[in-house]
Amino acid sequence: MIRKQKLIIAILSVILIWLLVVIGSFFAGPDLTAENKTVLVLAADKYEQPNGGCDMAYIVRLEDGHLKGYDPFYPGGMTHPSQPAPGNLKGNMRMHDCLWNGVEDGMKYAKEIVEYHNGTHIDAVVVIYDEGLDNVIDSVRPLEVDGQVTNLSATDIIRENDNYAGYKGRENIHTGTMSRSDAVMVLVKALSKAAKDPSKKETMVKAALEEYKKGNIIMTPEGSFARLLATKGFESIV
């Protein structure tokens, strides 16, 4: 995948944690708010391969129903202990390819891979496709970023702030001084601020519900993670 697509995945993976706070109360599902739980979040590029390639993941930890934080990791060379690779691929299934033969089975395989390699029990799994979150973000542009109103895309907001000089067309975009993670958080905070506007929040909710209907946001047990985040909030990790 080219760098631009990787950048979008990185942006959307972080924003996912925030976005589900906004849309969470609209989904039914098991209540996870009363116990310690661990949730696996998979960020996938929808068109990279059949059913999407898992390019980034998070283990989200909950204590007594409160969101305590999340640990990002790249699937890299993580493989399933027994499931063979799909298609014409050789060896055991890599986590990157877990969705190949279907999302429902893929979420199960991803859970098994993480539990095998990390020794961490996973209580719920969420898949988010980049296309879905990109559409939700676009629904509320322009955004106010550090006091300035901008109609830049999510990708270009990050590029304005991070210090990577290798993007194609970089000469037309200010080169920032932040690390990639800090630049991503600038966008997350801008979206969080936008959500305080009732009309923008309603717009985002409608857009997110539409993406849910399209299958760009998928959860198992259905709705559990989003419902929990809607109850407890995002501010503890932003």
Contact 27, 227 (CB under 8 A): yes
DSSP E strands, the chain: 37-45, 53-63, 66-73, 79-84, 92-94, 124-129, 143-145, 148-150, 217-220
Q: Is 64 in contact with 34 (CB distance < 8 Å)?
A: yes
Residue 164 has pLDDT above 60, yes or no: no
CA atoms of 103 and 146, how far apart (whole Å): 38
Q: Write down the architecture of domain 3-133+217-232 according to CATH.
A: 2-Layer Sandwich (3.30)
- Residue closest to 52 by CA, chosen among 16, 98, 109, 3: 98
Tell me which DSSP letter residue 91 carries. Answer: S
Q: Is the pTM of this model over 0.75?
A: no
Answer whether 23's CB lies under 8 Å from 226's CB: yes
Longest Cα–Cα distance of the chain, Å, equals: 52
Q: With a cut of 80, say whether residue 19 has pLDDT above it.
A: no
Spatial distance between the Cα atoms of 221 and 38, rounded to a whole number of angstroms: 12
Cβ pair 131, 194 in contact under 8 A: no
Each residue's pLDDT tens digit, 106-146: 999 999 999 999 999 998 888 888 787 778 778 888 888 77
| Spans of all domains in the chain | 3-133+217-232, 137-200
Q: Give all strands of the β-sheet with 37-45 in edge-to-edge order.
A: 66-73, 53-63, 37-45, 124-129, 217-220
CA distance 114 to 235: 27
Instruction: Note whether 158 and 183 are within 8 A (CB).
Output: yes
Query: What digits encode the pLDDT tens for the residues 213-229?
Result: 788 888 887 655 455 44
pLDDT digits (tens, 9 = 90+) for 53-92: 887 788 877 776 556 777 777 787 899 999 999 988 999 9
